[in-house]
């Protein structure tokens, strides 16, 4: 009898171990479900091929013959990269390792924007990784603007299920005429479906890809309660495994999806418009539901204090 009880206990602990990958100060961190590895479908490119300096050149340090780069925030400056081309729809991904230690007020942004070309009606698709007053904790915020809709923030926030300072993790934006998908290590954490409710503010113009690290003391950590403490500087983020594949715009006009496929002024690389990328698979839907159910802690669609009338797309869900 004792042997059977011991055996049952062992079985119980094995089951628990398979469900939990680790325990953090926020509680149990659950092992993510298996999903398709979209990042394996696209080739890597050197940082030096895909991106150039945006600002803070002295705080940008190329590594491994340009395949990886460190971008640094210190007392003198932050730093940032921008893609050498603009794209209309595509697959945009990088492996990122975040700064260690006390990082309140620090923001690492991996995002797309065309504010430089369309200052009054720009589009934007954002990953914003927000430093934390507790060591090794970061908050992942996603956001989206279309046609200058900056007065209506569409933020969502999730707690990461891993320590992002220990090793590289992949952050990916899939953007096409059907939907925008934010993925972390190939797990969808957010999907924005292009439907009638959101079509007027759905990103529709060519954008550049950016990676920046900067001081956001006025808002990033508890609304600015915890500013950057430069005693812990420099804050070093590392990026690599860059993947950019999309419809490359050669001028400042706004191409359509049809032009991306046919017009000679745009690249012919446009497979993300195909049926394989038009909707999430069953596995990906499981991953999306897992991420949102277990790790999301803020959505603008549930913020009735901020919005007396929720945006139209929230009611369409």
- Please report where in the chains the tokens 């011991």 appear, as a residue: 6
133 is catalytic: no
Q: Which helix (H) or strand (E) holds 111?
A: strand 106-113
Distance CA 89, CA 119 (A): 20
**Looking at 36, 128, 245, 313, which residue is catalytic?**
128
124 is catalytic: yes
Please name the residues in contact with 26: beta carbons below 8 A apart, sequence gap of 6 or more: 137, 159
Residue 170 backbone phi and psi in degrees, to 5: -95, 130
Structure-block tokens of residue 197: 């409710």
Output Rg (C-alpha) for the chain, integer angstroms.
21
Q: Answer whether 190's CB lies under 8 Å from 173's CB.
A: no
Q: Answer whether 189's CB lies under 8 Å from 291's CB.
A: yes
Task: Tell me how far apart the terminal alpha carbons of the chain are, to the nearest angstrom.
Answer: 53
Q: What value, to the nearest 5°, has the Cα angle with vertex 145 and ends 284 and 278? A: 30
Strand partners, 53: 81
Per DSSP, the three-state class of 254 is coil
Work out the number of other CB atoms within 10 angstroms of the CB of residue 278. 12
Strand partners, 96: 169, 239
Distance CA 180, CA 295 (A): 20
**Looking at 6, 124, 241, 273, which residue is catalytic?**
124
- 157-194 burial, b for 16+ CB within 10 Å, e for fewer? bbbbbebbbeebbbbbbbbbebbbbbbbbbbbbbbbbb
Q: Enumerate the active-site residues.
A: 124, 128
């Amino acid at each position: 009898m004792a042997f059977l009880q011991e055996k049952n206990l062992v079985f119980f602990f094995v089951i628990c171990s398979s469900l939990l990958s680790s325990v953090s100060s926020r509680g149990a961190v659950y092992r993510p479900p298996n999903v398709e590895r979209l990042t394996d479908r696209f080739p890597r490119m050197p940082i030096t091929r895909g991106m150039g300096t945006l600002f803070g050149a002295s705080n940008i340090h190329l590594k491994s013959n340009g395949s990886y780069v460190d971008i640094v925030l210190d007392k003198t400056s932050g730093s940032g990269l921008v893609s050498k081309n603009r794209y209309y729809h595509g697959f945009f991904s990088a492996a990122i390792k975040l700064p260690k230690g006390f990082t309140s007020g620090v923001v690492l942004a991996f995002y797309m924007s065309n504010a430089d070309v369309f200052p009054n009606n720009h589009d934007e698709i954002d990953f914003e990784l927000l430093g934390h007053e507790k060591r090794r904790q970061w908050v992942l915020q996603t956001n989206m603007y279309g046609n200058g809709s900056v007065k209506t923030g569409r933020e969502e926030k999730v707690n990461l299920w891993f320590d992002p300072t220990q090793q590289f993790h992949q952050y990916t934006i899939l953007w096409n005429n059907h939907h925008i998908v934010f993925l972390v290590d190939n797990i969808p954490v957010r999907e924005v479906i292009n439907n009638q409710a959101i079509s007027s503010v759905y990103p529709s113009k060519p954008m550049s890809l950016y990676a920046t690290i900067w001081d956001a003391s006025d808002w990033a950590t508890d609304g600015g309660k915890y500013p950057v403490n430069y005693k812990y500087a420099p804050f070093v983020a590392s990026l690599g495994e860059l993947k950019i594949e999309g419809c490359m715009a050669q001028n400042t006009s706004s191409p359509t999806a049809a032009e991306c496929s046919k017009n000679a002024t745009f690249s012919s690389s446009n497979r993300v418009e195909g049926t394989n990328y038009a909707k999430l698979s069953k596995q990906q839907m499981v991953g999306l539901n897992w991420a949102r159910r277990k790790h999301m802690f803020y959505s603008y669609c549930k913020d009735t204090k901020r919005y007396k009338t929720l945006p139209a797309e929230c009611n369409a869900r």
